[in-house]
Amino acid sequence: MPPFGEAVKESSMEKIVFLDRETLAPQIHLRRPDFAHEYAEYPRTQPDEVVARLRDATVAITNKVALNAEMLGQLSTLRLIAIAATGTDCIDKAACQGQGIAVSNIRGYAVNTVPEHTFALILALRRNLVAFREDVLAGEWQKSGQFCFFNHPIHDLQGARLGIIGEGVLGQRVAEIARAFGMTPLFAAHKGKTGLGPLYTPWAEMLETSDIITVHSPLTAETRNMIAMPEFLAMKRKPLLINTARGGLVNEDDLVRALDEKIISGAGFDVTVGEPPALDNPLMQIAGRPNVILTPHIAWASDEAQQALADQLIDNIEQFVAGTPRNLL
């Protein structure tokens, strides 16, 4: 493989540039497309480097590098933006449409990894594993003088009500796992919407009756801050709140307040507003609490899921070049 940023010239037909290859783990194999092309990749790309690196590109690959209207307006050769993720909030899709630039994303690859991570957070918090581990390391077991001790409550999943926000493939898989645990999954009706049918539990009822709430929604103007203090105050059963979707879906300042005031019993988050989060980010300030687990946006990142993503990414590019595009937005 060539050094980062060094192009392999095979033809001038297509020029492919991957702006942030380090967003996939180094052990993940990214095969080269099965057509004549030039290829360049960079470990990461700063905003002021985007235009220069994509100047002659026909295909851009990005995971988290933003492409805005100003940048896109300077990229006359660009025909496809292949997003190495499902979320598309880093791309100005209106500008792409205006310039005739196609945008593809990755679908269905995380159907195991994200739900499994979701339940890892749920189980750890529901059974207070972090708090008990800290106690063991602090010598509390020896101090107890018996075979076990009861410093923290432990709750089963059997019989618990799981509010699921987002009814796509991830939400459906979470519901399937929940049923295997003997839980009752509730798909929340979209906030502010009624008449969505029998699949959905009214938004207010979901908030009021759930023992655990898990978020699996995209971040849009409509969903930003969809859980804030009014929603927390409606959570009568002091649930756990899990977010493995996107930072910004939950108001982080209000989350801290909800924890401080014991409105909710704990939080398991894999995402923050701004990633990596600043040290003064509200979630970073509470990350050391035993009823909070903050992981670094890795719910999607099992080796198996990453390899499926990489394979689908190249499939998307090959299908586009072949004139049979798929997974277009």
CATH topology of domain 113-294: Rossmann fold (3.40.50)
Does residue 79 have an active-site annotation? no
Residue type (1 letter), 323: G
User: 3-state class of 129 per DSSP?
Assistant: helix
Task: Specify the higher pLDDT residue, 218 or 22.
Answer: 22
**Catalytic option among 176, 222, 275, 304:** 275
Task: Specify the DSSP class assigned to residue 130.
Answer: H
* Helix (H) or strand (E) segment spanning residue 80: strand 80-83
pLDDT tens-digit map of 268-309: 999 999 999 999 999 999 999 999 999 999 999 999 999 999
Question: What are the structural domain ranges in the chain?
Answer: 8-109+303-321, 113-294
pLDDT computed for residue 15 by the predictor: 98
Distance (Å, whole) CA 153 – CA 143: 19
- Counted residue by residue, the chain has a size of 329
Same CATH fold assignment for domains 8-109+303-321 and 113-294: yes
Is 316 a residue whose pLDDT tops 50? yes
* 99 contacts 302 by C-beta, under 8 angstroms: no
The pLDDT > 70 percentage for the chain reads 96
* Helix (H) or strand (E) segment spanning residue 8: strand 8-9
pLDDT tens-digit map of 249-262: 999 999 999 999 99
pLDDT computed for residue 198 by the predictor: 85
pLDDT level of residue 2 (50, 70, 90 thresholds) = very low
pLDDT level of residue 152 (50, 70, 90 thresholds) = very high
State the average pLDDT for the chain.
Answer: 95
DSSP letters, 282-313, are: HHHHHTTSTTEEE--S-TT--HHHHHHHHHHH
Is 233 a residue whose pLDDT tops 70? yes
Give CB contacts under 8 A, 24+ apart, made by 118-121.
118/174, 118/214, 118/216, 118/242, 118/244, 118/299, 119/174, 119/177, 121/242, 121/244, 121/268, 121/270, 121/293, 121/295
pLDDT level of residue 214 (50, 70, 90 thresholds) = very high
Does residue 275 have an active-site annotation? yes
Tell me the pairing of strands 161-165 and 8-9: unpaired
**C-alpha of 209 from chain center:** 25
pLDDT level of residue 1 (50, 70, 90 thresholds) = very low
CA distances from 70 to 42, 51, 96, 220 (A): 21, 9, 11, 21
Does residue 297 have an active-site annotation? yes
Full-prediction pTM beyond 0.85? yes
pLDDT tens-digit map of 34-86: 999 999 999 999 999 999 999 999 999 999 999 999 999 999 999 999 999 99
3-state helix, strand, coil in the chain (%, to 5): 30, 15, 50
Distance (Å, whole) CA 167 – CA 216: 8
Distance (Å, whole) CA 94 – CA 74: 15
pLDDT level of residue 13 (50, 70, 90 thresholds) = confident
Which residues, at least 6 apart from 204, have a Cβ–Cβ distance to it below 8 Å? 234
Joined tokens for residue 242: 């899990």
pLDDT computed for residue 186 by the predictor: 97
Angle between helix 129-137 and 113-126 (nearest 10): 60
CATH topology of domain 8-109+303-321: Rossmann fold (3.40.50)
Query: Can you name the residues that pair with 215 across neighbouring β-strands?
Result: 165, 243
Is 7 a residue whose pLDDT tops 80? no
Task: Specify the higher pLDDT residue, 197 or 270.
Answer: 270
Mean pLDDT throughout 1-27? 73
pLDDT computed for residue 197 by the predictor: 83
pLDDT level of residue 12 (50, 70, 90 thresholds) = low
**Catalytic option among 21, 53, 117, 246:** 246
